[in-house]
Chain A
Amino acid sequence: MQQFIIRRTCYSLITLLILSLTIFTVVRLTGDPATLMAEPGARAEDLARVRAQWGLDRPWPVQYAQFVENILAGNLGISFNYRMPVSELYFERLPNSLQLALAATTLSFLIGIPAGLLSAVRVDGAWDQVGKVVALLGLSVPGFWLGLVLILIFSVWLEWLPTGGKNDWHNIVMPALALGWYFAASLLRLTRSSMLEVMRSEYIKLARLKGLPGYVVIAKHGFKNALVPVLTLAGVNLVVMVNAAVIIEVVFAWPGVGRLLYEGIFQRDFPLVQGVVVLAGIMIVFVNLVIDILYAYIDPRIRLTR
């Protein structure tokens, strides 16, 4: 297990390396980074000043080292518009995004997994057909459009829920639904196929041969095995959710990190944009690492052999 953790952590570090390198190179390849780092409408001497300040005239490897050093020190620049350090802004908004992501994930689990299990246990039944349609729609309906339609129905026509902002629980329902929608459909699909495969396995057959009660066979032997691959999806999902969250937060004016990114783009606030992307990347890599380690605890095959 030790070995596994060490190896996995190394992979994460490599990922972070690649992430930072990519961001670093892209910015420099496409033009003068000074124009990006300086405020719009800067003059020549401003550009020169920015260049000196950020060391943009030094050779690339040196710059990169500085870049990494800055990141490690938590210095990701100052936002033009807010005149605050980007990292401060990010961490101020982060709890909101986490709340939304948590709500969305919970909703998805509550909807997707039972639906998937039920579909599998009653294959080809009416429920299964519904499940298949839902799964298909989950992939085809963009979350943000769902969000807009939800607003249309529940805020404009029915006037039950507010359209945006963050005050109380009313505000989180629709964004969580729009954000979790795709994941719920994925979960349904995966749980269903995983469960079906498990039900066909030899050890389920043996469990039945042992004369165990039906519900024990399904619940004890079936579910646990079926859920193992589902949990891996949780890690992948996180990444997808961060993506979709940007748009959802914009649609619902949710004061999270995604919205921050959008503001940065809109206002040509480059340090903000770069900072958010870097921090988001780091956070995802870290969370994936944690999830992988947790996963290893559940599956004894990984725990005991690696």
Chain B
Amino acid sequence: MNAPLLEVRQLQTHYFTFGGSRIVKAVEGVSFALQEGETLGLVGESGCGKTTTCLSIVGLLPPAARVVGGEIRLNGADLAKKSKREMRRLRGRAIAMILQDPMASLNPLFSIYTQVAEPAYYHLGMRGRSLRRRVEELLRAVRIPSPAARMRGYPHQMSGGMRQRIVGAIALAAGPKLIIADEPTTNLDVTIQAQYLDLLKDIQEETGVALIFVTHNLGIVARMCNRMAVMYAGRIVEMGAVRDLFDAPKHPYTKALLGSMAKLGSKEPLYAIPGQAPDLVRPPPGCAFHPRCAEAMPRCATQDPEVFQSGPGWTTRCWLPHLAATVIHDRATA
């Protein structure tokens, strides 16, 4: 296997609020690897640490937050150790990001051309006619009709779907290796969502860019991603191929998430996960999910689960598979 494009190891990011007296452990030991051209879905409820993880990768955490541990290796180089200037050069060039709200992402006072051209202008040093051509190319790649005319327009003249595609064009402008998409379709009409997702998939196939897709919608994950990582309380509780997790999830939280997806045409009542998201200032001892877990064992309340290798490229952070494995082992050796 090739060396991964992005390798995150034991990432820890904390928020220091109220003058440092209250520490929110937003990301507590996240590890994953991303190959070139791969799509990883990052799934979880609000507040589980998905966005913080992404911001940690690009180095744009809000002032109150800091990476306090772990490594983020892009092509081998540790991003957490880079200077601000070096990170700035990577941002937009090697790593790009698509945000959730397309209207808010675009500056209302500047033309589409200006905004799409900027990354190419600053990172690739393109100018004049070649720059204009590049912008046209990009707009065409995201399927904006009559790009030459549209370039001169302004954000408020575009529909929501078009704006989000322009944001996509901006992300592609400097030819990145990795695009992080933070809930890009949440603010779009349902009818447009599908189109947008198809577009992203096509772009990926054409350019070979790797994609981290942050969402709370498992349907999108099923459609877009090769692998997925389920996050809870700042940790990845289960990670593996989408097929494996959908067919036979091992972690109770993953099971609950899949169970709570509404199935079209089904008459079963919607299942909601009981309880509330955990306090990240004083997380519960042991497994963070145990207070809400239907299959919790006494051990879960005291010991933080170790990672269990459920299969090739499939990890589960739970005591249950450990228990199941020992039972099988015992039976086998009995």
Which A residues contact B (CB, under 8 angstroms)? 201-203, 205-214, 216, 221, 224-225, 228, 299-301, 304-305
Residue of A nearest to B102 (CB): A202
A209 touching B96 by the CB < 8 A rule?
yes
A302 to chain B, nearest CB (A): 10
Q: Contact: A304 with B154, CB < 8 Å? A: yes
List 6 A-B pairs, minimum CB-CB distance, nearest first: A211-B92, A202-B104, A211-B91, A210-B92, A203-B107, A206-B105
In the assembled complex, the CB of B318 is this many whole angstroms from the nearest CB of chain A, namely: 35
Q: Do B108 and A225 have beta carbons less than 8 Å apart?
A: yes
B71-91 interface with A by 8 A CB criterion: 88-91
Contact of B122 among A202, A213, A224 (CB under 8 A): A213
Describe A's contact surface by its main secondary structure: helix
Interface string of B78-120 (1 = CB under 8 A from A): 0000000000111111001101010011111110000000110
Q: Please determine whether B91 and A225 come into contact, CB atoms closer than 8 angstroms.
A: no
Given contacts A201-B104, A202-B105, A228-B109, contact A210 B154 (CB under 8 A): no
Determine whether the beta carbon of B105 is less than 8 Å from that of A210: no
**B164, chain A: closest CB distance, angstroms:** 12
Most buried by B among A205, A213, A304: A205
CB contacts (< 8 Å) of A305 on chain B: these are: 156
Interface pair A300/B154, CB less than 8 Å apart = yes
Task: Enumerate chain A residues within 8 angstroms of B88, measured Cβ to Cβ.
Answer: 211-214
Residue of A nearest to B97 (CB): A209
- In the complex, what residues of A have CB within 8 A of residue B96's CB? 209-210
Q: In the complex, which residues of chain A have a beta carbon less than 8 angstroms from the beta carbon of B110? A: 221
Ordered by A's residue number, 15 sampled pairs between the chains whose C-beta atoms are within 8 Å are A202-B105, A203-B105, A203-B106, A206-B99, A208-B60, A210-B91, A210-B122, A211-B90, A212-B118, A221-B107, A228-B109, A300-B109, A300-B156, A301-B108, A301-B156
Contact of A202 among B101, B157, B170 (CB under 8 A): B101
- Among B107, B118, B157, chain A packs the most CB atoms within 10 A around the CB of B107
State whether the Cβ of B242 lies closer than 8 Å to any Cβ in chain A. no
> Which residue from chain B places its CB closest to the CB of A216 in the assembled complex?
B122
Within 8 A of A (CB), among B153-184: 154, 156-157, 167, 170, 173-174
A187 to B245, alpha carbons, bound, how many Å?
58
Residue of A nearest to B114 (CB): A220
Chain A residues with Cβ below 8 Å from B58 are 209
A208 CB → nearest B CB, Å? 6
Q: Is B143 an interface position by the 8 A CB rule?
A: no
Q: Give min CB distance, A6 to chain B, whole Å.
A: 22
- A206 close to B170 (CB less than 8 A): yes
In the complex, A224 Cα to B109 Cα: how many Å?
Answer: 8
Cβ–Cβ < 8 Å partners of B123 in chain A: 211
* Chain B: CB-nearest residue to A303: B154
Residues of chain B in range 247-271 having any CB-CB distance to chain A below 8 Å: none
| Min CB–CB distance A124 → chain B (angstroms) | 11
Which residue of chain A has its CB nearest to the CB of B118? A210
A202-B99, A210-B122, A213-B88 known; A225 and B156 CB under 8 Å?
Answer: no
